[in-house]
Homo-oligomer: A and B are copies of this chain.
Amino acid sequence: MLKLDDRDIEILRVLADNGRITKAQLAERVGLSASPCWERLRRLEEEGIIEGYKATINLRKLGPNVTVFVVAELNDHTPASFQAFEASMQRFDEVTACWALGGGLDYLMQVVTTDIDAYQRLMDAMLEARIGLARYFTYIVTKPVKPFTLPPLRLIHGRDGAE
């Protein structure tokens, strides 16, 4: 298990909020000077705890669009079916995220399209593409209430079982 102290956690928190902060500013914010802070950051990146850095794009400023969450059930639940469905998820660009759910039969997809019509056409295309999709339930997003935030890292870290 990787040992992280409060300062490492603080580095993660600052970078999760501002991924382009300079290393000098980062050091100041976590109460270290540049060199030790830089060492810790290098380690966090090397260990893969920091996976990368991403710009956050405001899709609403680009044009009209709609986000839909879809709970999907498959026709059958063989390993091959799961694999085929999961591979399809990678190919549909409108599927912006996907998770497998407990119960062994369901998936949750996040889908972004220009409008509800385009969403329907996408789902029709999925049904026709014979990727194993049997039924699905649609949750249309009307408003983002809370943008992605980090969970409380101190809870998740500092217990047995981590790699």
Q: Which residues of A contact B (CB under 8 A)?
A: 1-2, 4, 12, 15-20, 47-65, 67, 69, 71, 86, 89-90, 93-102, 104, 106-108, 110, 112-114, 118, 139-153, 155-159, 161-163
Contacts and interface: CB of A to CB of B under 8 A. Distances in A.
A80 to B, nearest CB: 15
**Copies of this chain in the oligomer:** 2
A62 B49 contact: yes
Given A61-B162, A113-B155, A146 B94 contact: no
A50 B56 contact: yes
A16 B146 CA distance: 20
A15 to B, nearest CB: 4
A151 B99 contact: no
Nearest to A158: B63
